[in-house]
Amino acid sequence: MTTYKRVLLKLSGESLMGEQAYGIDQERLNDYAMQIKEAVALGVQIGIVIGGGNIFRGLSGAAKGFDRVKGDQMGMLATVINSLALNSALTANGVKSKVLTAIRMEPVGEFYSKDKAIETLERGEVAIFSAGTGNPYFTTDTGSSLRGIEIEADAMLKGTRVDGIYTADPEKDPTATKFDRISFDEIYNRGLKVMDLTATTMCKENHLPIVVFNMDKKGNLLKVLSGEDIGTLVHV
Ligand code: UDP
């Protein structure tokens, strides 16, 4: 039994680095692919957005002197690289998936449309939405909110390297405590940085709940999908 029929899974580009300082750690990539395989076996339809911070970030590029728009385009291409890596790892694990791109670049991936996304999901394949929103000045969190809303997902599952949303950054403040549930309004009121505000507001206004959980612990994706109380649920 699963709580969700269709989800948008957001994976962080940074987590893909594993213990490395840059790029893609094969072991972490394979672990993600295996967790996704378990989720597909439950019959859940899964759309995935993956970040690009392990390869390139527009803002840090701009700080080094790149034009911001070019830097963001480089960042979006980085998400395509990660998406291809995940696509390949899923294939190696016997899971069918399709890479859709927000920027036209056949034959690397098919150009995204809602119809194509839904067809893919209904065939039981994983849809990987790459190149974020296709626009500069956005993030893959916003891309996830957008795609999650478009595909009418039951929830956005935000896989991170922490166990959920805390009163403060648990990696910096040992007294921080975790929320099991929190409303969007409380996130604003407390100034918590769960996602950027554009992404958060899109979810709030379109009633897309978010589950923030630790994707780096094996088996956690299955636990979230099975309704186990891990992570933090963000509700309207
Ligand atoms: N990006 C963008 N538009 C989008 C999604 C991503 O311009 O719709 C770029 C942006 O430069 C970002 C990079 O792609 O820094 C990687 O995306 P991610 O969301 O991982 O970036 P982060 O939040 O880690 O900076």
Q: Where are the domains of the chain?
A: 6-161+210-222
CB of 51 within 6 A of ligand 1: the answer is yes
Which pLDDT score, from 0 to 100, does residue 1 have?
62
pLDDT of residue 170: 84
Q: Is the CB of 13 under 6 A from ligand 1?
A: yes
CA 85 to ligand 1 center in whole angstroms: 17
13 is in an annotated binding site: yes
Q: Domain 6-161+210-222: state its class.
A: alpha beta
For ligand 1, say whether the CB of 83 is within 6 Å of any of its atoms.
Answer: no
Relative to the CA of 50, which ligand 1 atom is closest? 20
Per-residue confidence (pLDDT) for residue 171, from 0 to 100:
83
pLDDT of residue 104: 98
101 labeled part of a ligand binding site: no
Q: What distance in Å separates the CA atoms of residue 150 and residue 228, rounded to the nearest whole number?
A: 26
Residue numbers of the chain with a pLDDT score lower than 50: none
**What is the reported pLDDT for 202?**
98
**Does pTM surpass 0.80?**
yes
